[in-house]
Chain A
Amino acid sequence: MISVPVVWLAGVFGLPLACVLLSRTRMDSGRLRVVAIVIALLLTIITTLPFFWASLRGFHLHAPAFVPGSGAILRLDELSLVLPTLAAGMWLFTIVATPRIVLGADGLRFTAQSTVFTLAAFLTEHPLVLTVAWAGSAIALRASLMTTRSKKRHAAGKYLGVSTVLFALGAILITRRTPHGSAVELTALGFLVAGAMIRKGIFPAHAWVPALFEHGRLGPAILFSSPQVGTYAIAVLVVPRAPAELLRVVAILSLLTGVYAAAQAIVQRSARRACGYLFVSQSALVMAGLDCTSHEALTGALVLWLSSSISFAGLGRCLLVLEARRGELDLGRHHGAYERKPLLAGTFLVLGLCCSGFPGTLGFVGEELLLGGAVAAFPWLGFLIVASSALTGIAVLRMYFALFAGRSREVPMALRATEAAGFVAIVAVVILGGLIPSPLVRSRESAAARLFAERMTSAGQASHESIPTRKDGD
């Protein structure tokens, strides 16, 4: 008899793969879009089943003995419980809220492929499987860049390539069964951290992310960035094993990146580039929280991960909707979009404020927890989170005024019903999460506790291995 988790997994991976196959048929693009929406909706529902079905929680499938490395190939635990729903929800929102003119059969195929790789990443903790998912999403993004005419795409491709190679090297080394704290493990951790820092755009490897947003295809860039697979990789592979000193360095770099990127977002002329910097800032704060070696900061980072993914995905889609109707968005002038799209204006404002930690939104919950934990770990540097939040708020309101204030000479289309529904839903998630945060916070607390327990276990193994024998001591 087939077990429930296997059936569930078949549904989780089968549905987006079915969409990939359908996109290669000659189905009419309008009908394909409707089918894709239904598939994405089904996937979202399926991924919520573990919340209600105990037998789906905590399952794990380990690799056969001949596969090097530890870690389950497939696992659904406290950390990853909400992540498949996040990935599926983003896919659904992408299809619903992206204008039809932008999302044809090729676009739908890319979104489905990207979702498969994201789900694969979130459901594993085996380094090699994670590497395959990592590489797959990077290759898919690179392929989407090839369809643009810009010569500036090469830089993004190079950074992606380097990030993937470094991560793969780290993953291969970490699968070797070496003592905790050995040179091999430290080298592996270094490669993993370097690869993740490049992917997430942490200083000094941050510049390619805004360039990707400005010169690449915005939709794929958002779908690639917002789930923050790099965050997950750090959480499962690095946090349980890394020495506190390495985590401290990464946290400090991340905090500085958070402030720097938020400041950069204020001065950009290109709306896409400003959006890219906002993502770098939010992503860096999440990374800082993961590396703070404080339970409260880790919980805050896990909550902020979700809030920043959701709000950033929504912000990016708002830009995409405006661009599809108005063309290039220069923040040096006023576009007057409020006149025809007040709902979009309100959505942009709420999601942007969520990024800056406005009370009543999910972003405030994450930042409140992160701030308390970060200040405990780094008494002065922790306040950089406050600076980042303040600068993000200024950048968001500047973008809001540039895009929605002023007079509009054109008479562009208002929002379609599906677009409006998508935006209302995402705003509702962000606000409800901010007003009733306890269930989510408790869930992230238990995930943080699990990561800490793994850290203690690793530390315990290390101290056991380092206990001197009578021969050594005499």
Chain B
Amino acid sequence: MNAPQRIVQIFLLIALVSPAALIVALTIGSIPRRPLSERAVARMTSTSVVTLIASLALSLAAYITTGLEPQTWTAREWLTRSGGALQLDLLVDGWSLTFALVAAVISGTVSVFSYRYLHLEKGFVRYFILYACFVLGVQLVALAGSIEVLFAGWELLGLSSSLLIAFFHERRSPVTNAMRVFSIYRVSDAAMLVAAVLIHHRVGSGSLSTLFRAGKLAAIDDTGSMQLTAIAFFILLAAAGKSALVPFSGWLPRAMEGPTPSSAVYYGALSVHAGCYLLWRAGPIIQGSVIAQALVIMTGLATAVLAALAARVQTNVKSALSYATLTQVGIIVVEIALGFRTLAFIHLIGNACVRLVQFLTAPNVLLDLHGFEGAGARGRARWPRLYAFALQDGGLDVILDTLVVRPFFAIVRAGQRLDERLSGERPVDGPVGRETRP
């Protein structure tokens, strides 16, 4: 290993340790009865974010100036077993470092906004613990060189997102919406896990750089084309859940229950683009299968059209912005499927930055205009059916409820009644009535 490689690796290690250390510090600091002060939390977060940004910037600078080749760095052999070790691999190339740096800058901007936005808010420390989880998650996704690292980041993003939607958990509606969003995230996580297992079994490795290189894929025999399509399908499903692509777009407006800074960073800037980034990385797999390509294009187009319609009928600015973001996400997905990788990457970064600014400045804009959030009433008189269709987000939630949720609950409740008979209990209707002492 030469000196430039060593320098890059050291900075990357610092970059990953920084948010992890913040999580530990804030968690430990919140255990005693007297919690950390806002100033202490702000200072710790600032230190962590500045360290993160600086180390990533220096990594990228070292990578570019020394002319290093893209490489996979094994940060740690995490699990040694007889069937082969599971490694914590980081992918070091210009794309991953750039995305990680942009994500860090966006996160840092949001953190500064958050200090003021959440001033005197009861859950101030809780917010920043979840924020630190988010920062770590997005860095793991950006720099993942193995499927295990990607999955870890993916799960952290989903969990922190759901818990932040339910940030104002004194009210019922944020909690209900958070559960709905988390349920969809679990479908996405399950799809990613299935893709990971299929990849492992087919290629014998969890290394992403190995997987996504065209040369490795060419070694797959004839029967691999269906497996390739299956892998691409599950990756698309995982990305669709995280990025609110069709048919999962219905969760996006529900996610606006959280604080504005978290809405900005999750659903404007980074988390909603995480699925795009995954698809971007999996580009070679998608382009290796015509069926997969077609599926991705159709999904992207449907998302863009639906989101464009829905954005025009929203009655609050955050929902309108989220659908505007989603419109661009749909277009980015189409660009990825068509093989325009550089365009898609620049589009992704640009959209993330623009939406962040829009989300953070929206409250001020409304104040300056002395106005209420305008209802999208322009199309209502002329095309009422289209208006209703857009207002119901294309009826996707209703379709999912009818085809998936209600049958699921019906089957499970039938099983519950059977279980109560098998265990000698009467079927229970209404609130729980327990006859025993603890």
Q: Which of A211, A324, A372 contacts B423 (CB 8 A)?
A: A211
CB-CB < 8 A to A299: which residues of B? 81
Say whether B425 contacts A211, CB under 8 Å: yes
Q: Is A438 an interface residue (CB 8 A)?
A: yes
Beta-carbon contacts of A149-178 to B below 8 Å, as 1s and 0s?
111111110000000000000000000000
Closest-CB distance, A107 to chain B (whole angstroms)? 10
Say whether A389 contacts B190, CB under 8 Å: yes
Say whether A211 contacts B151, CB under 8 Å: no
Q: Is B2 an interface residue (CB 8 A)?
A: no
Q: Is B299 an interface residue (CB 8 A)?
A: no
Nearest B residue (CB) for A358: B155
Say whether B175 contacts A334, CB under 8 Å: yes
CB-CB < 8 A to B412: which residues of A? 263-264, 266-267
Interface of A, secondary structure class, is helix
Q: Is A179 an interface residue (CB 8 A)?
A: no
Say whether A295 contacts B415, CB under 8 Å: no
Say whether A269 contacts B79, CB under 8 Å: no
The count of chain B contact residues (Cβ–Cβ below 8 Å) is 58
Beta-carbon contacts of B63-100 to A below 8 Å, as 1s and 0s?
00000000000000011111100100000000000000
CB-CB < 8 A to A368: which residues of B? 79, 86, 148
Nearest B residue (CB) for A414: B33
Q: A328-B432, A342-B30, A371-B193 are in contact. Are A260 and B415 (CB under 8 A)?
A: yes
Beta-carbon contacts of B153-175 to A below 8 Å, as 1s and 0s?
00110010010001001101001
Say whether B187 contacts A324, CB under 8 Å: no
Beta-carbon contacts of B410-438 to A below 8 Å, as 1s and 0s?
00110110111011110010011011111
Q: Is B54 an interface residue (CB 8 A)?
A: no
Nearest B residue (CB) for A145: B436
Cα separation A445 to B79 with both chains bound (whole Å): 12
Say whether B423 contacts A207, CB under 8 Å: yes
Nearest B residue (CB) for A299: B81
CB-CB < 8 A to A215: which residues of B? 425, 434-436
Say whether B82 contacts A295, CB under 8 Å: yes
Q: Which of A266, A334, A383, A389 contacts B172 (CB 8 A)?
A: A334
Say whether A405 contacts B175, CB under 8 Å: yes
Q: Is A270 an interface residue (CB 8 A)?
A: yes
Q: A266-B412, A295-B82, A401-B179 are in contact. Are A328 and B434 (CB under 8 A)?
A: yes
Closest-CB distance, A104 to chain B (whole angstroms)? 12
Say whether B438 contacts A217, CB under 8 Å: yes
CB-CB < 8 A to A332: which residues of B? 431-432
Say whether A390 contacts B437, CB under 8 Å: no
Q: Is A236 an interface residue (CB 8 A)?
A: no
Q: A267-B416, A332-B431 are in contact. Are A390 and B186 (CB under 8 A)?
A: yes
Cα separation A407 to B174 with both chains bound (whole Å): 13
Interface of B, secondary structure class, is helix
Q: Is B189 an interface residue (CB 8 A)?
A: yes
Q: A217-B437, A359-B152, A360-B152 are in contact. Are A343 and B183 (CB under 8 A)?
A: no
Q: Which of B27, B83, B189, B423 contacts A210 (CB 8 A)?
A: B423
Closest-CB distance, B98 to chain A (whole angstroms)? 25
The count of chain A contact residues (Cβ–Cβ below 8 Å) is 81
Q: Is A338 an interface residue (CB 8 A)?
A: yes
CB-CB < 8 A to B416: which residues of A? 264, 267-268
Cα separation A154 to B201 with both chains bound (whole Å): 48
Q: Is B197 an interface residue (CB 8 A)?
A: yes
Beta-carbon contacts of A63-95 to B below 8 Å, as 1s and 0s?
000000000000000000000000000000000
Beta-carbon contacts of B191-211 to A below 8 Å, as 1s and 0s?
001100100110000000000
Of A39-47, A120-128, A391-399, the stretch lying at the interface with chain B is: A391-399
Q: A217-B437, A394-B186, A441-B79 are in contact. Are A346 and B27 (CB under 8 A)?
A: yes
Q: Is A255 an interface residue (CB 8 A)?
A: no
Say whether B82 contacts A445, CB under 8 Å: yes
Q: Is B280 an interface residue (CB 8 A)?
A: no
Q: Is A247 an interface residue (CB 8 A)?
A: no
Say whether A148 contacts B420, CB under 8 Å: no
CB-CB < 8 A to A424: which residues of B? 31
Q: Which of B179, B189, B434 contacts A390 (CB 8 A)?
A: B189
Q: Is B272 an interface residue (CB 8 A)?
A: no
Cα separation A445 to B80 with both chains bound (whole Å): 10
Q: Is B182 an interface residue (CB 8 A)?
A: yes
Cα separation A339 to B38 with both chains bound (whole Å): 18
CB-CB < 8 A to A328: which residues of B? 432, 434
Closest-CB distance, B418 to chain A (whole angstroms)? 8
Q: Which of B83, B126, B172, B436 contacts A296 (CB 8 A)?
A: B83
Q: Is A387 an interface residue (CB 8 A)?
A: yes
Nearest B residue (CB) for A437: B79
Q: Is A306 an interface residue (CB 8 A)?
A: no
CB-CB < 8 A to A353: which residues of B? 159
Say whether B80 contacts A438, CB under 8 Å: yes
Beta-carbon contacts of A187-215 to B below 8 Å, as 1s and 0s?
00000000000000000101110110011
Q: Is A454 an interface residue (CB 8 A)?
A: no
Q: Is B178 an interface residue (CB 8 A)?
A: yes
- 30 A–B contacts from the bound complex (CB under 8 Å): A152-B424, A152-B425, A155-B425, A204-B422, A206-B419, A215-B434, A215-B435, A215-B436, A216-B436, A217-B437, A218-B438, A263-B408, A270-B434, A272-B434, A328-B432, A330-B431, A336-B170, A342-B30, A353-B159, A358-B155, A359-B151, A372-B200, A376-B201, A386-B194, A390-B190, A394-B183, A406-B169, A406-B172, A414-B33, A441-B80
5 closest A-B pairs by CB? A405-B169, A155-B424, A359-B152, A207-B422, A211-B423
Known: A211-B419, A393-B186. 5 other contacts (CB 8 A): A267-B409, A270-B434, A383-B197, A397-B162, A405-B169
